[in-house]
Amino acid sequence: MTNAQRPPLPPFTSETAADKVRLAEDGWNSRDPGRVALAYTADSQWRNRAEFVSGREAIIAFLSGKWRRELDYRLIKELWTFGGDRIAVRFAYEWHDDSGNWFRSFGNENWEFNDSGLMRKRYACINDLPIRVEDRRFHWPLGRRPDDHPGLSELGF
């Protein structure tokens, strides 16, 4: 089951690339490291900021630590471009630390998929911006972003 196909599969179209991005957003908004890791190959290679992560077990450990530190995490991803087995996205997420300091983290990711639709490479560049609680823009119950909640472009990000 862990190596099953994960549609949509490459080569991507505009529609299937956008679907893949939304599925990734939904997975990350679950904040379930085991669930998220199943979207990646068993030997997936990541660069996340200055950290290098390799394989599902390392992905689970990385995400577990991330979501222990980044509380009330809410993420929006948006398709930037695509071609063949690759997708580029831009994203933003809001979170706070255990002292109540809020941040909006912005970034870009480059993804590469295998023929089964599992991500084999993920390169993420991320910047953190401290924000005031009243400047938060991502307001929905924890979990999947509602379909009627604005995306990044609609929010002016």
Is there a domain that residue 148 lies in?
Answer: no
Is there a domain that residue 142 lies in?
Answer: no
Is there a domain that residue 121 lies in?
Answer: yes
Is there a domain that residue 6 lies in?
Answer: no
Per-residue pLDDT of the chain (157 residues; tens, 9 = 90+): 456 899 999 999 999 999 999 999 999 999 999 999 999 999 999 999 999 999 999 999 999 999 999 999 999 999 999 999 999 999 999 999 999 999 999 999 999 999 999 999 999 999 999 999 999 999 999 999 999 999 999 999 9
b/e 45-65 (16+ beta carbons within 10 angstroms → b) = bbebeeeebebbebbbebbee
Is there a domain that residue 90 lies in?
Answer: yes
Query: CB count, 10 Å around CB of 7?
Result: 11
Query: Structural domain tally of the chain?
Result: 1
β-bridge partners, 105: 93, 128
Is there a domain that residue 157 lies in?
Answer: no
Is there a domain that residue 29 lies in?
Answer: yes
Give the separation between CA 4 and CA 84, rounded to whole angstroms.
Answer: 20
